[in-house]
Structure formats: C-alpha cells, structure tokens
Amino acid sequence: MYGLPVSTAAGDVRSLIAAARAAAVPDSAALLRAVAAAAAWQDLADAPEVLDRLDPDAVAREVLRSTPRWTQLPAGIVAVVAARHVLATAEPADRHVIRTVAAARYAGVAPRPDDTGNGCWRLRWARLRPDPPHLVLTGHDWAVNALTAVPLPDGRTLLASGGDDRTVRLWDPVTGTPYGEPLRQREAVRALAAVPLPDGRALLAIACNQQVRLWDVATGTAVTTLTGHTATVTAVAAVSLPDGRTLLATAGDQPDPTIRLWDPVTGAPVGVLARHDKAVTALVPWPLPDGRTILASGGEYGDSLQLHDPVSGAEVGRSPHHRPMAAVPLPDGRTLLAVVDWHNSTWFHEPGATEAVDVLHGHEWGITFPDVATAVPLADGRTLLVGATRAHVWLWDQIGRSLIGRLTGHTDEVRALAAVPLTDGRTLLASAGQDSTVRLWDPTVGRADTTEGAGSVADLVFLPHPDGRILLAGAVAGQRGPVLWDADTGEPADPLPCYGESVSALAAVPLSEGRTVLGRR
C-alpha cells in the first residue's frame, strides 16, 4: 500500500523529501532512485511542492523503469508521467496547475478545495473529457504517417516512427525516450516495416517517394536502396516464407499500383507479384496453418482486395470493394484476416472458407470503418483488433465480440497503429498521426466508455446572473444551446432554451438598464 513504511528505505525517502523541500535545487536523480527502490510514490505525491520542482522527464523515466503498471500509481504521479511533454517545457511556477489539470484529465481526480496552488494561480474546478493515461512522445515537427516495432538482437524492441518532417525516429517504448539520433531522409516517410534477417538482425524498411531504403537499426547505418517503382511507394511489409527466408513486399500509388517483392539480404528484386487498378494503401501478411503466408493487398475505394501466394506468384483470392486491415491470431491457433468494406462493416475471414466467419457492423456500435488497424495480442491469450477513425482509437475483442473501449487523446486524424511487444510479456499499442505526436497505450487499461463524449468547446464567456452569481457560458460542439456552469463551483446551471443549429460562438452584451443578454451564432 503506497505511503506505508514498507521498509527502512521508506523512512529514508521521507528524510530525502524533507531535505528537498529546503534545497534550492533538489537532487532529482538521488531522490527518485530512493523513491523507486522503496515504492514510496505516495510519499512523493503527498509532497507536491517537491514533485513540481523535480525534472518531469526524470520523474517519468524512473516511474516507467521501475513500475510497469504505472497507471495504478497515485494520481499526482500518473499526472506527471502522462503530461511530461507539457511539464518539461513549462516554468516550474506553472507546473502545479498543469499537473492538477492532468490529474483531472487522466486520473479523474478533482482539484482539492483547500489547494492553495503555487502562489500565482490555481485550478478551482475542471469539466474535462476523461482520457486514459498514456505516454505522449514528441519530436516530430509534422504529421506522423507510419509506425512499426523493430526487434533488436538482445531481445528488446524499439518503436520506429516516420513522417512528413523527413525523419524516422526510434524510441525506447519502456521509458518513452528517444533511442539514438533520428534517421534523416530526403523525402517524407510514407511507410515503415521491420524485416527480420536469418542472422537475428532486423532491418528497417523506409518508404520515401519512389524508393525504399533499408537501414540497420543497431548501427544506425543505411544498407541499400531499392529502386524500381515509378510512383510513390505507399505500403511495405515483411513476408515470411516456409523455408525460413523473409521477403520484402512494396506497393505503389498511381500510375504504378504494383506489388513488388525483394530479397532484403541482397537488395535484389524478386519480381512483380500483382497489379491493382488503383493505389495500393495496405499490405497484410496472412499466416496459414500449413506454414505458408498469403499476402493480402488493397487500396482506394472501388478497388478489389487481392490475395497472392508470394512463393508461386499465383492469385489465390479476390474480393470486390474490400480493403485488408490486419491479421488477427486466435488462441486456438487460427489467424483471421480482418477486412473492411465501404459500407461501414469489418469482415473476418478464415483460410479456406468461402464466406466470412464473422462481421462487425460499425453502425451497431457507433463507429465508422477504420482508416488503419492492427492486432494487439494480450497476455491472457486474447487478441484485440484496434482500429482508428479520425482522432479516436477503438478496441474490439474478437473472442467476446464486444467493443471494449475507446482511446481518446489525439487531437487530429490518426494515421498509424502498431503493436509493440515488451520483454516482460506485455504488449503496448502505439498510435500516431496528423497532430505530430506518437502515443503509447496499455490496451488493458482502455476506458470502457464507448461513447463519443462531450464535444469540443468553441467559445466561453462570463455571464452575470440576476441573483449575483457569475455564470460561465460555453458553445459546445453538438449542443443546440449554450451550456452554463456556475463559475465559482463548476456546477451545471439551469439550461437555456435550445433551438436552431449547434452553437459556434457566444457574446455577453450588457444593456443600459443593468441586464446582460447572451448572443449566439
């Protein structure tokens, strides 16, 4: 139980915290090592005047290194980890209120009435959409288009992200910190894939413009460049063969919507596997029970999903108006292929079956078909299908046939998802997109709420009430009338009549007789 004297070290931690209060500059490293060793995070959370003076990055690193289930720690500590990307660039005097807002957002803890703040300002109340706690990785300047997990020879796994800023960044998913220097490219990065080699290494395939570059992540050096496409390469995937080799599949945009195979060891082309009618946006390797791997491909609206055997080059299946999303392994050893149609349904196919074995109709669950998806295996044997629609990420349990959660936090379109296995048996979910952030989630602690939640607030004005109170009026997306709160307590006030379309702007207009009217647009 946090805060109890579990050992002599816990008493030492309290002494160190007392010393940090008096120090002009607290020794973050020594204090945090002692807190982690004694599991005394509650003691640190109970000393916010010390917590807010520590280096937020150092706090987050030590928490993540020592406590895999960090989302179960005290709210103040969870807030520092989840908001470290904001806290790290904030003035120490501003950290208190930022951490308090983060505690309300990520841990559901309301500000204390007796909280005096830091002497400059304090949070009185908050009405926030709850977001599940997660890590926000910053460093990209523009949109992030691609993610992939990259295994290292020592058993660890890195996360690679690439985007419009012409960089590929490598991350340690355990601590959320950069791994080495960015891999700088000449063009925007469109797709990524990890390609395992027979010697235990893995190359990173980076699609930029009409080329694919192979990098050795362990050394940070470029190995070779694959050329042959005459249009932008839009998708890449590693395809395992029954003889133990791995091929790299690449696909392109118009006017060259071909799928090409390459030997990643030599960099030599193997051949053109298939051609689509429109740009290819998805390549999904689909493992079969007999040891073969079928490559599923598809793309823009109106194109067909195609299935090919990469060994023989033969087409083994085709389905009109479908796009492959992910291969979903099941506890019984089967692997289903999840595909989407253009009517808001996701279909699950089994090898050899002529009909889909299951279907998820998006309209029944209040979701639209995903733009991107991945499968995330859990420690209990289940596999979640994770899809992204606009800025939301949803989690689907194929075994239980239930929508189990929605992950909110991105502020713009999500463009990439990836499962990231860790050495302790957990698998994290990575997401990235138009808001230039990469985010790491524990999919087992996703919020069970599957509703869209409150809309964004477009405008706020203060409004005097005849009884002497001051109200706060908000223009909330999706609401046909202004939403009112008591500005002192945050409690909802009596609503105003609703009419017309949703409110986008407000104005408080004082009149000469002392009244104030509220204008809306």
What digits encode the pLDDT tens for the residues 187-213?
999 999 999 998 888 999 999 999 999
- Please, what CATH class does the domain formed by 136-445 belong to? mainly beta
Percentage of residues in the chain with pLDDT exceeding 70?
93
Cβ-based burial of 195 (10 A; exposed 0-12, middle 13-18, buried ≥19): buried
Pair 349, 302: CB distance under 8 Å: no
> Which positions ≥6 away from 340 have C-beta within 8 Å?
322, 323, 325, 346, 347, 369, 370, 373
Assessment of whether the complete model's pTM goes beyond 0.75: yes
Where do the structural domains in the chain lie, given as residue ranges? 8-128, 136-445, 457-520
Amino acid at 433: G
pLDDT digit string, tens, across residues 56-113: 999 999 999 999 999 999 999 999 999 999 999 998 888 999 999 999 999 888 887 6
Given a cut of 70, is residue 119 above it in pLDDT? no
Characterize 280-311 residue by residue with b for buried, 16 or more Cβ atoms within 10 angstroms of its Cβ, and e for exposed: bbbbbbbbeeeebbbbbbbbbeebbbbbbbbe
Pair 310, 287: CB distance under 8 Å: no
Give the integer Cα–Cα distance in Å for 294 and 405. Answer: 31
Give the integer Cα–Cα distance in Å for 440 and 419. Answer: 10
Given a cut of 50, is residue 50 above it in pLDDT? yes
Given a cut of 60, is residue 454 above it in pLDDT? no
pLDDT digit string, tens, across residues 347-373: 899 987 778 888 888 766 666 767 899
Q: How confident is the model at residue 447 (pLDDT cuts 50, 70, 90)?
A: low
Tokens of 52: 């807010």
Q: How confident is the model at residue 183 (pLDDT cuts 50, 70, 90)?
A: very high
H or E segment to which residue 75 belongs:
helix 75-82
**Residue located via tokens 């998913």:** 173
Pair 463, 516: CB distance under 8 Å: yes
Q: How confident is the model at residue 1 (pLDDT cuts 50, 70, 90)?
A: very low
Helix (H, G, I), strand (E, B) or coil at 87: helix
pLDDT digit string, tens, across residues 390-421: 888 999 887 777 888 889 899 999 999 999 99
